[in-house]
Structure 1
Amino acid sequence: MRWLTELHQTQPIAHAIGVLAFVCVLGMALGSVKFRGIKLGTAGVLFAGILVGHLGEDADHHTLAFVKEFGLVLFVFTIGLQLGPGFFAALRQQGVKLNLLAAAVVFFGAVGAALAGWIGGFQPEAVLGIFSGASTNTPSLGASTQTISTLPGITEDRLALPALAYAVSYPTAIVAIIGTLLLLKQVFRIDPMREAKEYADKQRSQVLPLERRTFVVTNPNLEGVLLKDLPGKNEANVTISRVKHGMDTSPATDTTVLHRDDVLLAVGPRGGLDTMEKVIGQRTDMDLMLEESAVTFRRVVVTEPGVLGKTVGEMDLDDRFHVAVTRVTRADIEMSAVLGLRLQFGDQLQLVGRSEDLDKAASAVGNSLKELNETHFIPFFIGIALGIVLGTMPIAFPGLPHPIRLGLAGGPLIVALILARVGHIGRQVWHMPINTNLAFREFGIALFFAAVGLSAGAKFFETVFSATGIQWLVAGACVTIIPLALVAAFARVILKMNFMELSGLVAGSMTDPPALAFASNIAGSDAPTVAYATVFPLTTLLRILAAQILAITLCS
């Protein structure tokens, strides 16, 4: 066994990888333990790394440095890929209000951390760790550590301080965030179950569900009119899927000629169907879907790169294959297939037509489950490379002695958000199956936590049980609770915000999954996830920038 005990000398890289793997196993086992329904999750790896590092298991520092940065890049890039498609839409809708409130939490937290450092006389590097740990925000820790490593005169001991302070304040922050939610619930006498129902009712009222309705053409002005020229059809967001003329039922296409007494099957929101009833004629209880004919329907998935970015009208499936596109489902939202709707990778189309025509149309849009479930690695690595370029680019700000860099946390995140929103460039598609995305994300953050924990472990217990460690812990709790309490009280009292949005805002502004899980549990609903996902990307970016500004202003 001598070869094993000497592995750190003979093969330091193999030894470091082995230690990292051991720390990840131990940490994930620790993170899976639940206490009152709450568990640390992957954050358990951080504390396992601290324990192993404290016990004196040293690892190659160059390997740890690489693993830490690489894990961080994987983590933030996969987050951006997942949240990108809905991020910009959320900003245009309710996201502006939510993100302004989250930005206020970040601002008050940064000011509070600097103020606590001044009052307590903390070393500037420790303030950075308190700021990141008090918000449970790992990317900001990576950004601040990377920033101070580029400053002149920074010793190894000072470079380790952010991780130490982060590890001290992180557990307290998790408890403090959940405690703030409970405090809000108590002070404002909130019934989470009732508010979850109110929130769901409000959301349902804002979404226009699609309905089917059958009309008989009785308007004499429609005799001989092409279906594409049917007045008001596009404005009402209504599509016609089938037409029965005499005894023959056929798929509706733009070139279908309308005649008096034709029967049309229409799909659209209730208001649009009411409008079309006035144009077409009378409603009938006849259901053309139950009529015996060669016409059927099929759901197909858009996976062909050449189709992406084209509108339903530009696809021209009705003229090319004699099929009608009636609905488009995207991210569980069902929409009427209006001509101007642009198709994205993974959209599900409902087509109506004859079986042989549906086969041809399905082939034209891709409909490949293999493509849908495949990770496209060329665009994935292109995105990471672009993120590195953006993250390392110096950006000068007036009044700051050193330029700001988005870093390996901010650059890949922004690039991923943009690329996921764009969706594709040529045949390169930025799509990653959700299971693969989660696997890469957990792998990346586990590597980061393991490397950070091993680096901080040697001095952790010595620090946390000292007077300085207790001061860090108290300062971190204040930096967590005060900004949250102020902003949440304003949102509830002044803006009358529902607890589902409020709890998602609290968890998202602290980028804290355990708090999100807790909020969802007490409400019996996943509704807080919407607000959480809305503020998470911008909050992460703001915390990265705030950490760098603190690093430059305090440590220079």
Structure 2
Amino acid sequence: MEWLHTLFFGGGIAHAVLILALVITLGILLGKVRIGGISLGITWILFVGIAMSHFGMTIDGEVRQFVQEFGLILFVFSIGLQVGPGFFSSFKHGGLTLVGCATAIVLLGVAVTYVIHLATGTPIPTMVGILSGAVTNTPGLGAAQQAYADATGYNDPTIALGYAVAYPLGVVGIIFSMIFIRYALHVKFEKEDEGLAALSDEKKLAAKVSVEFTNAMLDGATVEHVRELINRQFVISRILHADGEITMPDADSTIRVGDRLWVISRAEDSEAIVAFLGHRVEMNDEAWGNNTPDSVLISRRILITKPSINGKKFSDLHLRTRYGITITRVNRAGVDLIPYQGLELQVGDRVMVVGTEKAVAKVADVLGNSLKKLKQPNLVTIFVGIALGVLLGSIPLMNVPQPVKLGLAGGPLIVAILIGRFGTHFHLVTYTTMSANLMLREIGIALFLAAVGIGAGDGFVDAIVGGGYRWIGYGVLITVVPLLVVGIVARLWLKMNYYTLMGLIAGSTTDPPALAYANATAGNDMPAVGYSTVYPVVMFLRVLTAQVFILFAL
């Protein structure tokens, strides 16, 4: 049975793969256990790795380091690719306030960490690990470890130990902060629902409205002339003439008083457009479709799947002039956008096309409309992005006193965000299915946590017994103080809706269990909207501040 003992406690590739597989499997199974409705989720992999390493089941240092860094790269790159399209838009439509509050939470957490360092003398590398655990931010842990290793040439195990000790109460502290603010400030869900109803229009970028044209000054004007006068983005999808005929207009179509128009516009512009054209009338989508004589016009959502269309503008395709169709909406990642000639299309977009059945079929051939093609992974984009991210992360930016680099966490994250947002300009297909992105991310974080746990297991118990139990208290302060201070300010002075505030709290700590609790409590998607608004910026700041904090101490 010597071979079995060697397989579990020896060395070699088989031993390393077996230990990693066991750690990840047991960690995932334990992550399904809930206590009081709360679970530590995938972070159990870290604790299982610590336990197995404590009992002698470790792996070779170089192998472990490779698995750890490559897992981190996969994790942060997949996150960046996912949030890239919404990274810059998160600053618009009121999101700047949310981003500002989230930034304040991040910086206040760093300040509390530094004060605890000054008061207790706990080394900064350890405190950065505690900070990452207190805000449940694994990429921050990876960034801190990478920055320390790059600057000193060796690893500090107390970074991972601090993370592991502070993490459990970090999850609890985040949810506790939501509950405390709710009861301390006497939040009533009925009033929050009223505020939510007033904000509901802001979440929808495209609105459909039926209008009776009564502006006699523009009787006989063309659609293009009316659009120039209003100077707002909108599309007239169909015209119901006085004789009952429904037509699909183009730029040269004329509008007569008494015509009814089906207008697609941004929600915030719809009232102004209606007031200019005439007055609103009640006609639902079925009425417009069912009144079409002989079903001449149909509407269909077409999926863009041809790589040759990626990055092209509507003006490049000339779909209206070639096929006589109208594009009324573009759906990207669940959000309806108003089409205009300069809008750049991406693989994965769904466009609403109105026209004859024959014309719509031709447009479908041009755009692709093949769901099967979207299931094929775009590995070139992923590995080109990883290569560029590693290159960017290795560039010395300054020397204070060690070279400051973005590292293997920051470099791929920034490149992935930029590719996700601007990749179409370089004909890179950035679309990945949600399941493929999630698989890549989960594999990466699982490998990273397993490697970190195995590396931190030696000395974990000794660290707790030797005073590491104090780190739990430090972590609670780092978790709760910034969230309560900023949360109360946002609620009392900024009058932030409580549902959005819960999303802000969960997003500023990048904590999925807290988001799950917020969604279940709210019963709507406002916490998820707040979470996704601040998540990209917070993820970037957590990685950046962790590295800067480490380098500041050296």
Q: TM-score, normalised by structure 2?
A: 0.90
Q: 1:390 matched to which residue of 2?
A: 392
Aligned mates of 1:106, 1:474 — CA distance in 2:
19
Q: 1:203 matched to which residue of 2?
A: 200
Aligned mates of 2:4, 2:113 — CA distance in 1:
45
Superposition pairs of residues 153-232 of structure 1, within 5 angstroms? 154=154, 159-192=156-189, 194-196=191-193, 198-204=195-201, 207=204, 210-213=207-210, 223=220, 227-230=223-226, 232=228
Q: 1:528 matched to which residue of 2?
A: 527
CA contact (8 A) 2:205 2:336 kept: no
CA contact (8 A) 1:217 1:282 kept: no
Comparing 121-130 with 25-34, greater Cα deviation is found at 121-130
The answer to whether residue 129 in structure 2 is matched with residue 129 in structure 1 is: yes
Letter aligned with residue 323 of structure 2: F
Q: 2:499 matched to which residue of 1?
A: 500
Q: Secondary structure at the match of 2:328?
A: strand
Q: 1:515 matched to which residue of 2?
A: 514
CA contact (8 A) 2:209 2:280 kept: no
Q: CA deviation at 1:215?
A: 5.1
Q: CA deviation at 1:218?
A: 9.2
Letter aligned with residue 551 of structure 1: I
CA contact (8 A) 2:68 2:448 kept: yes
Letter aligned with residue 363 of structure 2: A
Q: Secondary structure at the match of 2:56?
A: coil
Q: 1:19 matched to which residue of 2?
A: 19
Comparing 281-290 with 318-327, greater Cα deviation is found at 281-290
Aligned mates of 2:280, 2:209 — CA distance in 1:
14
Identity of aligned residues (%): 36
Aligned mates of 2:498, 2:239 — CA distance in 1:
48
Aligned mates of 2:73, 2:6 — CA distance in 1:
32
Q: Extract unaligned runs of 5+ from structure 1.
A: none
CA contact (8 A) 2:237 2:264 kept: no
CA contact (8 A) 2:274 2:280 kept: no
Q: 2:263 matched to which residue of 1?
A: 267
Aligned mates of 2:202, 2:468 — CA distance in 1:
51
* Residues 433-488 of structure 1, C-alpha deviations (whole Å, 9 max, x = no match): 11111111111111111111111112222322x15111111111112122222222
Letter aligned with residue 141 of structure 1: L
Q: Extract unaligned runs of 5+ from structure 2.
A: none
Aligned mates of 1:233, 1:327 — CA distance in 2:
22
Structure 1 residues 231 and 438: CA distance shift in structure 2, 3 A = closer
The answer to whether residue 335 in structure 2 is matched with residue 333 in structure 1 is: yes
Superposition pairs of residues 462-501 of structure 1, within 5 angstroms? 462-464=462-464, 466-501=465-500
Aligned mates of 1:284, 1:215 — CA distance in 2:
10
CA contact (8 A) 1:277 1:283 kept: no
Q: CA deviation at 1:328?
A: 2.1
Structure 1 residues 117 and 369: CA distance shift in structure 2, 3 A = same
Q: CA deviation at 1:255?
A: 4.9
* Residues 96-142 of structure 1, C-alpha deviations (whole Å, 9 max, x = no match): 22222222222222222222223223234322211211111111111
Q: 2:323 matched to which residue of 1?
A: 321
* Residues 158-206 of structure 1, C-alpha deviations (whole Å, 9 max, x = no match): x211111111111121111111111111210113464255225313256
Q: 1:235 matched to which residue of 2?
A: 231
Structure 1 residues 27 and 477: CA distance shift in structure 2, 3 A = same
Aligned mates of 1:146, 1:100 — CA distance in 2:
28
Structure 1 residues 231 and 391: CA distance shift in structure 2, 3 A = closer
Q: 2:309 matched to which residue of 1?
A: 307
Structure 1 residues 231 and 542: CA distance shift in structure 2, 3 A = closer
The answer to whether residue 458 in structure 2 is matched with residue 458 in structure 1 is: yes
Q: Secondary structure at the match of 2:468?
A: helix
CA contact (8 A) 2:215 2:276 kept: no
Comparing 299-308 with 141-150, greater Cα deviation is found at 299-308
Would you say how many aligned residue pairs link Structure 1 and Structure 2? Answer: 545
Aligned mates of 2:354, 2:162 — CA distance in 1:
61
Structure 1 residues 103 and 277: CA distance shift in structure 2, 3 A = closer
Aligned mates of 2:214, 2:492 — CA distance in 1:
54
Q: 1:141 matched to which residue of 2?
A: 141
Structure 1 residues 192 and 53: CA distance shift in structure 2, 3 A = farther
Letter aligned with residue 249 of structure 2: A
Q: CA deviation at 1:420?
A: 0.7
Letter aligned with residue 367 of structure 1: N
Letter aligned with residue 290 of structure 1: N
Aligned mates of 2:224, 2:495 — CA distance in 1:
46
CA RMSD of aligned residues (A): 2.8
Q: CA deviation at 1:407?
A: 1.2
CA contact (8 A) 1:213 1:273 kept: no
CA contact (8 A) 1:196 1:525 kept: no
Q: CA deviation at 1:9?
A: 8.2
Aligned mates of 2:52, 2:210 — CA distance in 1:
66
CA contact (8 A) 1:23 1:49 kept: yes
Q: Secondary structure at the match of 1:82?
A: helix
* Residues 520-552 of structure 1, C-alpha deviations (whole Å, 9 max, x = no match): 222222311222222222222222222222212
Structure 1 residues 476 and 283: CA distance shift in structure 2, 3 A = closer
Q: CA deviation at 1:39?
A: 1.4
CA contact (8 A) 1:217 1:259 kept: no
Q: 1:373 matched to which residue of 2?
A: 375
Aligned mates of 1:153, 1:355 — CA distance in 2:
66
Q: Secondary structure at the match of 2:329?
A: strand
* Residues 40-95 of structure 1, C-alpha deviations (whole Å, 9 max, x = no match): 11111111111211222121221111111111111111111111111211113323
Letter aligned with residue 479 of structure 1: I
Aligned mates of 2:240, 2:507 — CA distance in 1:
52
CA contact (8 A) 1:216 1:283 kept: no
Q: Secondary structure at the match of 2:170?
A: helix
Comparing 509-518 with 442-451, greater Cα deviation is found at 509-518
Q: Secondary structure at the match of 2:299?
A: strand
Aligned mates of 2:358, 2:96 — CA distance in 1:
48
Letter aligned with residue 427 of structure 1: H
Letter aligned with residue 349 of structure 1: V
CA contact (8 A) 2:9 2:56 kept: no
CA contact (8 A) 2:206 2:338 kept: no
* Residues 282-328 of structure 1, C-alpha deviations (whole Å, 9 max, x = no match): 97978464233232222102223333344434432121112122222
Aligned mates of 1:314, 1:98 — CA distance in 2:
37
* Residues 202-261 of structure 1, C-alpha deviations (whole Å, 9 max, x = no match): 1325646522536579959655x65444454773533233457878755333355x3868
Aligned mates of 2:223, 2:521 — CA distance in 1:
52
Q: CA deviation at 1:515?
A: 1.4
